[in-house]
Chain A
Amino acid sequence: MRRRCGDRAGTGLSGQTAQACSRDEKMIHSLFLINCSGDIFLEKHWKSVVSQSVCDYFFEAQEKAIDVENVPPVISTPHHYLISIYRDKIFFVSVIQTEVPPLFVIEFLHRVADTFQDYFGECSETAIKDNVVIVYELLEEMLDNGFPLATESNILKELIKPPTILRSVVNSITGSSNVGDTLPTGQLSNIPWRRAGVKYTNNEAYFDVVEEIDAIIDKSGSTVFAEIQGVIDSCIKLSGMPDLSLSFMNPRLLDDVSFHPCIRFKRWESERVLSFIPPDGNFRLISYRVSSQNLVAIPVYVKHMISFKENTSSGRFDVTIGPKQNMGKTVEGVVMTVHMPKAVLNMNLTATQGSYTFDPVTKVLTWDVGKITPQKLPNLKGIVNLQSGAPKPEENPSLNIQFKIQQLAISGLKVNRLDMYGEKYKPFKGNCKKRVLRKDPKYQIFHDTQTQGANSRRTCLLLLRSV
């Protein structure tokens, strides 16, 4: 800031510009991407340049925070405010000069990270460095003068094509570009999230219903808190401008819902039908919370025995996981993680099923159990070695358990039907394809023993073919 004024004075401009300096613009001024070791590997300025030194304040806060998770998202410095997010081992630090709703910036930064993820398959330092030009072009389109311009991935993809190996080879030979030659029409259409002229030979629409149980269970096994959160992720590959409406058998289950902007609020309010013209490709249609909190049945149970003996610098560890009522579905992908107390040196365990690892630095025990068969319950037991002389840990660690159950929506949400209007190819129903669930449900944790589970169900509703 000061430097800027100085420059101006150097070029002999009047006090008027000095005034301009003092006049701050709103919204996002600059963006720095910083990796975990503290290198700034990308910077982008939408207005005049802000020196990298502003990040020193950030590093200071980072040091203070010990843990990356604890870096405060909003930092105030003498001339700027820094708002940052931490995603995939990268800090996105934005520089702000004036009052702005912080969530606005945070939400935008996450959207940027999502876009990178979408374009490069991963949002990592390498991916960003390899595609620095695309990153720059994207940032240029996403923000104008610090105000978001185009953030819908459908539109961005039309403006700037995502890289593919084939194209980069072709490009390097022919010198053609990855910037769209044809200009997008999307911005100008009435549906900012859908590009025009979509065409598929196989018209398909997939809906994944993924539900997570988030539960806290106390030592004795009773549930302290449990709730179900769900999302419907869609993958729509339909030609033209399909107008879909999706109805549920029991929409009242959904207590609190948030929508993709394509969904018409009014129809939901009046008829509880999701009516929308979908974006092309993958997107999250809705996320919801299920109201009947008390009725959540946790599909697994854990028997645990963890004890540390006084003065012997050792302890015993014995955990068994078993399935509860789960409507005949198998519990799979079971992973248990335990943050052991600091005094633990290492662990000597035997697992009847799956494999375990213990990281002596972070003190995290991970046990990858896999599938649970009711006939033979997985068990992990053995000896815990403590630092000699260290006092016995006073509290048993909490166990976090994640798992998934295919084809089961724990809340009982049922999709009734999907109708399509506005396009001429005919839907025909019922052809259900199963896909592997991409998303792992989130874990849960708890006090002494915590179960946390996620159940997921995938529904493939409809396979459309053009007539």
Chain B
Amino acid sequence: MLESSKDSAKLDAMKRIVGMIAKGKNASELFPAVVKNVASKNIEIKKLVYVYLMRYAEEQQDLALLSISTFQRALKDPNQLIRASALRVLSSIRVPIIVPIMMLAIKEASSDLSPYVRKNAAHAIQKLYSLDPEQKEMLIEVIEKLLKDRSTLVAGSVVMAFEEVCPDRIDLIHKNYRKLCNLLVDVEEWGQVVIIHMLTRYARTQFLSPWKVDEVVDEYCENNFYESDEEQKEKDQKLKTVYTMDPDHRLLLRNTKPLLQSRNAAVVMAVAQLYWHLAPKSEAGIVSKSLVRLLRSNREVQYIVLQNIATMSIQRKGMFEPYLKSFYVRSTDPTMIKTLKLEIMTNLANEANISTLLREFQTYVKSQDKQFAAATIQAIGRCATNITEVTDTCLNGLVCLLSNRDEIVVAESVVVIKKLLQTQPAHHGEIIKHMAKLLDNITVPVARASILWLIGEYCERVPKIAPDVLRKTAKSFTNEDDLVKLQILNLGAKLYLTNSKQTKLLTQYVLNLGKYDQSYDIRDRTRFIRQLIVPNEKSGALSKYAKKIFLAQKPAPLLESPFKDRDHFQLGTLSHTLNSRATGYLELSDWPEAAPDPSVRNVDVAESAKEWTGILGKQKKEKPTKKFYSESEEEEDESASNSSSGSGSDSESEKEDKEEGSTDESSGSSSPSEESTDSESDSKESAAKKTCRAVNESDSEDIKKKKAEGIFKKRSTSSSSDSEYTSSDECSSGSKSESDSKSDSESGKSENATSNKKEEKPVQDRKTPKNQDVFLLDLDDFCPVTTPVAVPTAAVLSPSLTADLEGLSLSSSSVIDVTMHVSVPTKTHELLHRMSGKGLAAHYHFSRQPGIFGDCMVPVQVTLTNTTDQKIENIHIGEKKLPPGMRMHEFNPIECLEPGGSITATVGIDFCDSTQTASFQLCTKDDHFNVNIQPPVGELLLPVTMSEKDFKKEQGMLTGMNETSTTIAVAPQNSTRLVIIERVVKAANLGVVPSGQDNIHRFAAKTVHSGSLMLVTVELKESSTAQLIINTEKTVIGSVLLRELKPVLSQG
């Protein structure tokens, strides 16, 4: 059939062959016939042939070579999927002769334009490596290259290859560490697991242990339990300053946290183990909730998760105590799950919850699942030893169980009681007597042996019963289990020593029986005991000590959790589950004594940026000590890491060029955007200066390129269709955002006048998600700007790019970047006084969190407080009276505000770069109040980071009427660098530009709406005066800002 000329016949044949393979039958003799069809045009036949090839190529190497040329051809196919699948099959054919061909293919694919092909290249690396480990060095090079890749698609696979080929080459990770952390959320779930595990190992070698400090704090808390909270806080703070977590360490913890909410249990577990192994002990607790959630899923998942929880709960009880009830056993659970739950409950038991637990255990003991009931009894025993308060209760309970009808339960109880009695050598006479009575009924060997041992051990306390027991057991000796026989011998020996009058004969009888027993263990033991206890002429000195030997005080056994020793395995690993080292398990190293140089993770940037990173480093060190957990610090980190990783090295920027060139193919998608950008710049108000337009136009070209790139490379989770992309980029270029709604609607139908309002809302809303889009996009992008607020950057960036292109000096790839804000002015303004608001008070302040509502919006945080004694319901924004052009993004209506409660809502207002007042109505269910927000000019800016060089370049272009300056008197205490920076940044949302001169301070920002640059220079002169210069196109804002900044510096 395979020879048939008809595709359908061939297909049918192939299907049958695949069916054979699936059943595990050998189909290898068909190889020649099948391989001919590898070039078939029919995709399905081709696929099935691939399946066949991968299965049998290894066995028929010579024939398999026939197919290679087909793949080589396919590797050059314009369709990325065909390239990818060719690479996949080629690398899956395990024929050593083609190693060089594979190597070549991998190398080529690793610089393929399609991330999908690159992903497959990463997979192929592992395959090639397992085929021929000699290629290691070359493969590492490829891995190194792929690690630099910014696509989320590639990241998971390449880290996998890294783990496979060269897990010890930790140095390859340094430069990519921050990037990986930032990409993590958007990587596909399987990749996340691999990356998290790798980063856990990495972090263990690179950061200092956060635990030591914790311990100090803990101790401290205990010592000073009664100290006032405030004092405590102060001291805690002091302690914290001693250890400062590396910002990169913090970055990792922060970026993995949202993954706890993944639907994929493996991801959640990976994050949990990361927190367990890396986070300060106080923070590790956040994972427990998510782990408990996993207990709702499949049996297999539960099993693994419970095992891990068991290990965790031994070391840190507190983590899971609040969830104790979630571990209650259900009667439908399989036994293995039940026992694990029981284990965890036992670990969690303490004085406070033991009574509840014991009650629960009582129910379990009655369970029909006897194996589980037995496990419960052991658990009770463990609780009894661990918590002395309940030992007696438990013991009594267990004794009651001795009268249980079920033998297994009784036997288990006996064993546990035996252990308990040993730990508590007082009052057991009664219990032992009771147990001796049981001996007649119990048949389980372990239990019988336990009873005999107990009687022997404490024979002096039950002098009457012991010989009788020996008599009975001597009768049944031959029918007993080996275990029991040994204990009978023991009992005999002990009695012989303590009460030889009554038992001498009996013991000898038993010893004789033992002598001829079938088991050599028993014969051995008999001989040994006889020599020891029966005095005869040959017996040596030892028999004198026989009593001491037999009746020595025995140490009580420790009842321990079987999970006790598992903690040396990394959680969540196979080795942990099996409690033995699995092949390929990589030990988690201990924390280093001293932190390795953190600067290795900084990505080298051309010299201009060097000092800039220096400053950042400085800031980092200062900040965390002050507000360790503050949002702003986190943001700063992010921007720091982003921008440093974002500013690619030379080789990258070359690559980037290449990419840019090649993306011209996709001009299809970029052309509409060009049109719209053009039309938009045409429609721009004539107020815009000509120069500005020139810049704008050149911008749009750059943007276009980047856009194309973006479209090609984006892998973000949230981005939408291409057209949307275009529009979001337009926004970023600072165009009026209305134009994007227009361009949308123009392409469709003309919009309804009535639906105007509706239309506007979605547009605004859409901004929010888009912001994230762009953030993600830019990470993938090769453009040197990467920051979470990349939206506005395009406009700022492009002039410098243009300049670069003019100068063709790639080495000085400049970095201009919107920075995240460090200081948020605490000043709040009153929006609505409680008197005029009938009890509803409202305040607002500018949160300076860029880009929440889109690029043009200034976010304003409104705090609403209810000062009445009644609920205020349905607070929302009513009618808006905005000056033309201004727009506002409302907050979601607040359902209800409790008396005395307050709530914070954020609105976004596009002030159109003017200080005009935004008036609107704040409505409640029954009332509405007119309120106004007037922005200080400093809040109409978004900070920008740029190098000094770029600053000067930009400044040079904004001279003449774009420059305003004034001389001010500077209060002496204000003349240090730090104070100036702090004051200026507080007054206006400006970004600090590193300065080479001590007496000149530079700040840069762009206006929120139009994105015009705003450059501020403070030049300190002698005799406490200073020159304040502002360069901007927006001269009005410039002069207002100048006026506002003056008092800031002159006041004391």
> From residue 172 to 225 of chain A, which have CB atoms closer than 8 A to chain B?
174-175, 177-181, 183-184, 187-188, 190-192, 216, 218, 224-225
Judge whether A275 is part of the interface by a CB distance below 8 angstroms: yes
Known contacts A175-B7, A190-B714, A421-B765, A26 near B772 by CB under 8 Å: no
Judge whether B296 is part of the interface by a CB distance below 8 angstroms: yes
Instruction: Check if A243 sits within 8 Å of B720, measured CB to CB.
Output: yes
Judge whether B809 is part of the interface by a CB distance below 8 angstroms: no
Partner of A443, one of B126, B268, B303, B332: B332
Chain A neighbourhood of B269, CB < 8 A: 101, 103
Partner of A73, one of B51, B81, B304, B573: B304
Q: Which of A26, A147, A422 has the most CB of B within 10 A?
A: A147
Chain A: residues with Cβ within 8 Å of the partner, total of 130
Partner of B130, one of A7, A23, A394, A400: A23
Chain B neighbourhood of A20, CB < 8 A: 130-133
Instruction: Check if B719 sits within 8 Å of A190, measured CB to CB.
Output: yes
Listed stretches B39-47, B495-503, B551-559, B817-825; interface member = B39-47
Instruction: Check if A178 sits within 8 Å of B130, measured CB to CB.
Output: no
Chain B neighbourhood of A420, CB < 8 A: 762
CB nearest neighbor in A for B48: A133
> From residue 353 to 382 of chain B, which have CB atoms closer than 8 A to chain A?
360, 363, 366-368
Instruction: Check if B132 sits within 8 Å of A103, measured CB to CB.
Output: no
Judge whether B6 is part of the interface by a CB distance below 8 angstroms: yes
- Could you tell me the distance between the alpha carbons of A64 and B582 in the complex, rounded to whole angstroms? 23
Contact with B along A126-159 (1 / 0, CB 8 A): 0000001101110010001101110100000000
Partner of B132, one of A16, A72, A100, A422: A16
- Could you tell me the distance between the alpha carbons of A260 and B762 in the complex, rounded to whole angstroms? 24
A-B pairs with beta carbons under 8 A, tally: 318
Judge whether B594 is part of the interface by a CB distance below 8 angstroms: no
Judge whether B826 is part of the interface by a CB distance below 8 angstroms: no
> From residue 236 to 273 of chain B, which have CB atoms closer than 8 A to chain A?
258, 261-266, 268-270
- Could you tell me the distance between the alpha carbons of A96 and B574 in the complex, rounded to whole angstroms? 10
Instruction: Check if A216 sits within 8 Å of B330, measured CB to CB.
Output: yes
Judge whether A262 is part of the interface by a CB distance below 8 angstroms: yes
Q: Which of B92, B160, B360, B577 has the most CB of A within 10 A?
A: B577
Q: Which of A52, A107, A260 has the most CB of B within 10 A?
A: A107
- Could you tell me the distance between the alpha carbons of A402 and B718 in the complex, rounded to whole angstroms? 39
Known contacts A179-B44, A190-B719, A260 near B263 by CB under 8 Å: yes
Partner of A104, one of B61, B92, B266, B299: B266
Chain B neighbourhood of A86, CB < 8 A: 299-300
Judge whether B114 is part of the interface by a CB distance below 8 angstroms: yes
- Could you tell me the distance between the alpha carbons of A333 and B774 in the complex, rounded to whole angstroms? 49
Judge whether B423 is part of the interface by a CB distance below 8 angstroms: no
- Could you tell me the distance between the alpha carbons of A443 and B335 in the complex, rounded to whole angstroms? 18
Chain B neighbourhood of A259, CB < 8 A: 261-263
Interface size of B as a range: 35 or more
Contact with A along B392-416 (1 / 0, CB 8 A): 0000000000001110000000000
> From residue 291 to 314 of chain B, which have CB atoms closer than 8 A to chain A?
292-293, 296, 298-301, 303-305
Chain B neighbourhood of A81, CB < 8 A: 574, 578, 582
Partner of B762, one of A183, A190, A192, A421: A421
- Could you tell me the distance between the alpha carbons of A55 and B11 in the complex, rounded to whole angstroms? 32
> From residue 1 to 53 of chain A, which have CB atoms closer than 8 A to chain B?
7, 11, 13, 16-17, 19-20, 23-27, 40-45, 47-49, 52
Main secondary structure of the interface of B (DSSP, over half): helix
Chain B neighbourhood of A456, CB < 8 A: none
Judge whether B18 is part of the interface by a CB distance below 8 angstroms: yes
Main secondary structure of the interface of A (DSSP, over half): mixed
> From residue 400 to 450 of chain B, which have CB atoms closer than 8 A to chain A?
404-406
Instruction: Check if B331 sits within 8 Å of A103, measured CB to CB.
Output: no
Chain B neighbourhood of A106, CB < 8 A: 265-266, 298, 300-301, 304
Judge whether A304 is part of the interface by a CB distance below 8 angstroms: no
Instruction: Check if B573 sits within 8 Å of A422, measured CB to CB.
Output: no
Known contacts A107-B266, A229-B296, A101 near B573 by CB under 8 Å: yes
Partner of A67, one of B335, B718, B772: B335
Judge whether B979 is part of the interface by a CB distance below 8 angstroms: no
Partner of B720, one of A11, A132, A175, A241: A241
Partner of B572, one of A101, A284, A419: A101
Chain A neighbourhood of B48, CB < 8 A: 133, 137
- Could you tell me the distance between the alpha carbons of A391 and B120 in the complex, rounded to whole angstroms? 66
> From residue 676 to 720 of chain B, which have CB atoms closer than 8 A to chain A?
714-720
Listed stretches B183-191, B508-516, B635-643, B880-888; interface member = B183-191
Judge whether A315 is part of the interface by a CB distance below 8 angstroms: no
Contact with A along B143-155 (1 / 0, CB 8 A): 0000000000100
CB distance from A64 to the nearest CB of B (A): 12
Judge whether B334 is part of the interface by a CB distance below 8 angstroms: yes
Judge whether A264 is part of the interface by a CB distance below 8 angstroms: yes
Chain A neighbourhood of B772, CB < 8 A: 264, 266-267
Chain B neighbourhood of A264, CB < 8 A: 717-718, 769, 772
Contact with A along B666-679 (1 / 0, CB 8 A): 00000000000000
Instruction: Check if A69 sits within 8 Å of B769, measured CB to CB.
Output: no
Contact with A along B114-156 (1 / 0, CB 8 A): 1110001001101101111110000000000000000001000
- Could you tell me the distance between the alpha carbons of A227 and B574 in the complex, rounded to whole angstroms? 31
Chain A neighbourhood of B7, CB < 8 A: 175
Judge whether A341 is part of the interface by a CB distance below 8 angstroms: yes
Judge whether A432 is part of the interface by a CB distance below 8 angstroms: no
- Could you tell me the distance between the alpha carbons of A175 and B9 in the complex, rounded to whole angstroms? 8
Listed stretches B19-27, B464-472, B526-534, B608-616; interface member = B19-27
Given contacts A76-B582, A190-B716, A394-B404, 17 further A-B contacts (CB under 8 A): A7-B59, A25-B126, A26-B164, A27-B160, A42-B23, A69-B299, A74-B578, A101-B574, A104-B193, A106-B298, A107-B264, A144-B120, A147-B160, A250-B895, A421-B762, A422-B720, A445-B330
A-B contact pairs, 5 of them (CB 8 A): A81-B578, A97-B584, A190-B719, A422-B724, A444-B330
What are the nearest 9 A-B pairs in CB distance? Answer: A175-B8, A98-B584, A177-B44, A69-B334, A73-B300, A103-B266, A179-B44, A395-B366, A265-B258
Interfacial residues, chain A to chain B (CB-CB below 8 A): 7, 11, 13, 16-17, 19-20, 23-27, 40-45, 47-49, 52, 67, 69-70, 72-74, 76, 81, 84-87, 96-104, 106-108, 110, 132-133, 135-137, 140, 144-145, 147-149, 151, 174-175, 177-181, 183-184, 187-188, 190-192, 216, 218, 224-225, 227, 229, 240-241, 243, 245, 247, 249-250, 255-262, 264-267, 269-271, 273, 275-277, 284, 287, 289, 293, 339, 341-342, 391, 394-395, 397-398, 400, 419-422, 424, 443-448, 450
